[in-house]
Amino acid sequence: MADPTHPVPSPIETDSPCIHCGYNLRGLLAEANCPECGQQIAASLQGDLLRFSDPVWLRRVLLGVSLKLWNMLIGMLVGFVAIVSAGAGARAVWPMLLATVGSALGLWATFCLTSQEPKTTLTENPISLRKTIRTSAIAVMIGGQFVRYGTGLMPATAIWVITVAAGLAGAFVAYGELFYLRRFALRIPNEGIEFLTTFLMWLVPACLALGVLAAAAVAIVVSTGTRDGPLASIGAVGGMLGFFVAVALFILFICYIVVLFRYRSAFRRALDQSTATDPASVTGA
């Protein structure tokens, strides 16, 4: 006869992925360990908040946020150096090199931010938003190099097409990264960060896309040398639109940096809490 003071443990009745390897724990006992990686099953049943996530994955995402901050700060430095170089009549070598470094950091940051969470390893679709964002980020990186170093070596039309394609892909990457950050805000949870991220999630890509179209309009006029007629009007409108977009992007740029600092602090707290409740993470298991 069963002892009523010591009930028999019941197996898990729903699909529950292991936070370390994604193994489906259904049918196992909460007091046992994952048969795939050895992680305590109880740690995978605490909830979906970040502080209950895999510490190794949290470190990678935290690195992505930090790299994103460095990338944006380098972007500010590139703009400053470009202005100084133009004023001094010097060649824009340093801005180009800094922009290349910033592009590499941006690609690395995107890959870290979109790192696959271990518990979704066995359930992710072959074509997912995460993979699409990564592919687009690679396209932005390659396109940027063509535009940066190919001007003067390639036809103006080709440079224009690459610029527009890379710019639109960049807008999609910006939206995708903010989409990921917003999803993390729901798991912190923090309604203030979630609201700011949603605000940026729509305005930043929209401004980037408008900026690309404005730059393309001006580029058409410059490459054709047209000073009169419809093309000249398009160039003037593009110039005005570009100015307003630049002002809006600068404001959103500052807001983005503030939001990233808040995310970094939140991820550090979640990582500290996750590590404190997961001894295996100390050794990186």
> CA angle, corner 273, sides to 267 and 279, nearest 5?
125
Check if the beta carbon of residue 148 is closer than 8 Å to that of residue 100: yes
* Mean of the per-residue pLDDT values of the chain: 80
Closest by CA to 60, choosing from 118, 132, 121, 122, is 118
Q: Which residue is associated with the tokens 């979630």?
A: 194
Higher pLDDT, 149 or 142: 142
What band does 267 get if pLDDT is binned at 50, 70 and 90? very high
- Residues in contact with 20: Cβ distance below 8 Å, sequence separation at least 6, in sequence order: 34, 37, 39, 44, 54, 118, 119, 280
Higher pLDDT, 86 or 22: 22
Positive or negative CA dihedral for 275, 276, 282, 284?
negative
- pTM attached to this predicted model: 0.76
Q: Report residue 151: phi and psi, to 5°.
A: -60, 125
Check if the beta carbon of residue 41 is closer than 8 Å to that of residue 24: no
Using one digit for the tens of pLDDT, what is the confidence trace for 40-96? 888 878 878 888 888 999 999 999 999 999 888 877 776 666 666 655 555 566 667
Residue 285 pLDDT exceeds 60: no
What band does 5 get if pLDDT is binned at 50, 70 and 90? low
What band does 230 get if pLDDT is binned at 50, 70 and 90? low
Give mean pLDDT, residues 110-127: 85
